[in-house]
Structure 1
């Protein structure tokens, strides 16, 4: 334990030194003074030049990926008027606002603070580094107990061209993801060296559909190539910002309108990209992911409505790593999401989805929904209280010819549980949450969550090496087909502190304690014990209670 403390202290001092080195460089680059919330004046000028679509991007740049700081206050009445002209309203739901496009660490070259480059408004650039240290004690994702102290390293770079060659535009985003000091087998969730997240060409017609009734351009955008992006509440299409590696796809995307308009339609046909860790990633030729997403913002001061249809069609891969990969599958999912505010009383964010089709010889019939209601109280520290309930069906009977397990497609996992023990499948998850922000640059979060299986005869996704990866074979310890292990998985206390060190450096420290209940305890007890010495795979028998501590620094280098 003493050795772990020394490692953590060394890591912390390393980050502090790096921050101290970068901050003087930023000051020396002649950056303009900051206005409230961390946006520099050059960003305000760019907003005035390019409109409200860039306000959302610029305002998001200095905030944490999964919980935004308060909105930037505009500098002038003209900027405020542009905000009012936009139909776009952010959800107040936890971590439900998608990443901007391009990502928030990207800036126009004219905005990086070098006067000689002030005319290069057509070139987008970005450099980002993230380091995260984790201490995990008796992590139930693993069949092996004890302590683990991995350090995750992630680097990103972006270059893109807009405006100057219109209607043609393009962008490339590079990422390198690695992990060190990890005692377990490395998977594609942790490592993906020297690869591309985005590499696409785009036709952009600024006024392809004229203007809306607030005189805002309604463009047409057609994108082809490799792309990583997020949409709706990120539960089905997400970059997965918390994870060290990132979801990406190859195919096409057609957008009619944009986020500031009263309506928008997003059409896509994509093949997910296989993360190959040390080789160049390739598309999964056996799987197509497709859909249409509508955005209705005409009444966005009260409610934004997002009706959508998503689906995936998979042809069996005889060499597939998992049993699911080796099946013919076709899933169709109609759904909708609605979020908004009821006066000054409370805000809400709700969704419902139903899945139909087949999975191999089984008929698919599953559903999932989420409801979040919160209120931010009138106080300088912005206290916020939230209640959340999420449900995703599980397979009720392994022998009835129907698969009831809800499929989360390519959505994010972290907001379901910071320690990544549950995802949006076979789950009933009530939560209460409290947020506090005593200053613009610091925020506190506290969450208590309970986790139950929707079906006690189905699996708990990411425990006892039951995760779906291309590295570790699932030993099957995370499911009890008899249902005798119960349905109460456990409960957890999660806390997090976010601190914006400078406009370009964000630090986060978090802690989660998970208390195991019947299902987790019984699955550990029912699995072969490693104490026998002869059976493999085996499980270190332990209580199932875990601790998870992490410290993360995210640095935008431009």
Structure 2
């Protein structure tokens, strides 16, 4: 039987999609009250409010002429680094220091496990407590910069037979990023900016379907090699890279293999607000396996047209990719079209109504003369079909 994945979904998406939300509100009084205890409470609240306001003002000031973004700002999503400046401002660190600390704790439970390993556990409920901790330290606020980011991903309550444990959930005490970068603004007076990154890094490209710094997953893709980009701010940019993907180990330090290479080029054009455009090519050569039938040599060619969501406006996305090459000794041809249209409402929480369609080709005759199963490469796993975990 061929394996073909189809999905058509209509759902309501809200601006908050978290398992737990912790909020803190500080209320400032306009007039003093006669109660001494109330006055003391108001003074404390006012003091806390002033403290956090100073931190916010300091962090915003870092966006001035003396501040450059973090060393990996051009590599990944902006939300991954936006909190670092608040810690930096609270500690009064100088401009050339980047410091960030993060922990995410999540509990997951599946009452009817479906994986083949579930038979070992007799079909009992599979639960786990997943922790992902990160620390980052960077130096430099000029053309030359350095960044280290470490990550510890582990889980608890997973020792029963049949429980789900692998390197997508566990990667203890590892180096996520360790690189140096060079930035040149206004190249030869052209108004263009160029960046080089050398070392171990994480990458987000385009929609993140095929290359991503994992967000929901407990462990994270990393790459050893170089990345280069050139472009004009908020207009267009070209990115190229040649890397060895990190091979995750649950306990030991991640390694790389010269027989496992990944390279590509990506270009984006943002000059038309209602039709942003992207085009890309990704090459993969994976010869690590002793079984030559599992060797992969693929070229993935794709494009994307989209408009970002905005309140009281329609948005859309059209993305398609074709994959050609060899899987072992057989020809490989696969494809993955995606389409969606949505509308964001101007009401509290700004909910979005979204219609989404995705299709991934499959192999009709396993073991035959043609491979047709689309390989998502290093993308965020099925992120557009809602978050996945255990």
Superposition TM-score, scaled by structure 2 size: 0.78
Q: For the residues of structure 1 that align with 2:126 and 2:309, how far apart are their CA atoms? A: 46
Number of the residue aligned with 1:306: 278
Residue 201 of structure 1 deviates from its aligned partner by 1.1
Number of the residue aligned with 2:77: 99
Contact 1:133 1:151 in 2 (8 A): yes
Aligned residue among 167, 172, 186 for 2:148: 172
Residue 30 and residue 153 in structure 1: after superposition, are their counterparts in 2 closer, same or farther (change >3 A)? farther
Number of the residue aligned with 1:384: 352
Residue 112 of structure 1 deviates from its aligned partner by 2.4
Number of the residue aligned with 2:61: 45
Number of the residue aligned with 2:203: 229
Q: For the residues of structure 1 that align with 2:313 and 2:174, how far apart are their CA atoms? A: 47
Residue 194 and residue 42 in structure 1: after superposition, are their counterparts in 2 closer, same or farther (change >3 A)? same
Aligned residue among 315, 325, 332 for 2:287: 315
Residue 394 and residue 43 in structure 1: after superposition, are their counterparts in 2 closer, same or farther (change >3 A)? same
Give the length in aligned residue pairs.
340
Residue 53 of structure 1 deviates from its aligned partner by 6.5
Aligned residue among 100, 123, 134 for 1:156: 134
The answer as to 2:363 corresponding to 1:395 is yes
Residue 277 and residue 143 in structure 1: after superposition, are their counterparts in 2 closer, same or farther (change >3 A)? closer
Q: For the residues of structure 2 that align with 1:147 and 1:342, how far apart are their CA atoms? A: 38
Number of the residue aligned with 2:166: 187
Number of the residue aligned with 1:33: 53
Number of the residue aligned with 1:294: 267
Give the superposed CA RMSD: 3.2
CA deviation profile, 1:346-371 (whole Å, cap 9, x unmatched): 11112110011111111011100111
Residue 376 and residue 418 in structure 1: after superposition, are their counterparts in 2 closer, same or farther (change >3 A)? closer
CA deviation profile, 1:198-228 (whole Å, cap 9, x unmatched): 001112112226455xxxxx32111111001
Superposition TM-score, scaled by structure 1 size: 0.56
Q: For the residues of structure 1 that align with 2:23 and 2:116, how far apart are their CA atoms? A: 34
Contact 1:29 1:114 in 2 (8 A): no
Residue 411 of structure 1 deviates from its aligned partner by 0.4
Contact 1:98 1:234 in 2 (8 A): no
Number of the residue aligned with 1:362: 330
Residue 243 and residue 341 in structure 1: after superposition, are their counterparts in 2 closer, same or farther (change >3 A)? closer
The answer as to 2:301 corresponding to 1:334 is yes
1:48-447 matched pairs, under 5 angstroms: 48-49=64-65, 99-100=77-78, 103-107=81-85, 111-115=88-92, 117=93, 120-144=94-118, 145-163=123-141, 166-182=142-158, 183=160, 184=163, 186-208=165-187, 210=189, 212=191, 218-257=192-231, 260-299=233-272, 301-318=273-290, 327-340=294-307, 345-418=313-386, 420=388
Number of the residue aligned with 1:507: none
3-state SS of paired residue (1:234): coil
3-state SS of paired residue (1:203): strand
3-state SS of paired residue (1:33): helix
Residue 135 of structure 1 deviates from its aligned partner by 1.6
Contact 1:271 1:284 in 2 (8 A): yes
Residue 154 and residue 316 in structure 1: after superposition, are their counterparts in 2 closer, same or farther (change >3 A)? closer
Q: Which runs of 5+ in 1 are unaligned?
A: 1-14, 58-87, 89-96, 213-217, 422-547, 549-558
3-state SS of paired residue (1:291): strand
Number of the residue aligned with 1:4: none
The structure whose RCO (Cα within 8 Å, separation 6+) is larger is 2
Residue 29 of structure 1 deviates from its aligned partner by 11
Contact 1:273 1:283 in 2 (8 A): yes
Residue 326 and residue 160 in structure 1: after superposition, are their counterparts in 2 closer, same or farther (change >3 A)? farther
CA deviation profile, 1:389-438 (whole Å, cap 9, x unmatched): 011100122254110110100001152444749xxxxxxxxxxxxxxxxx
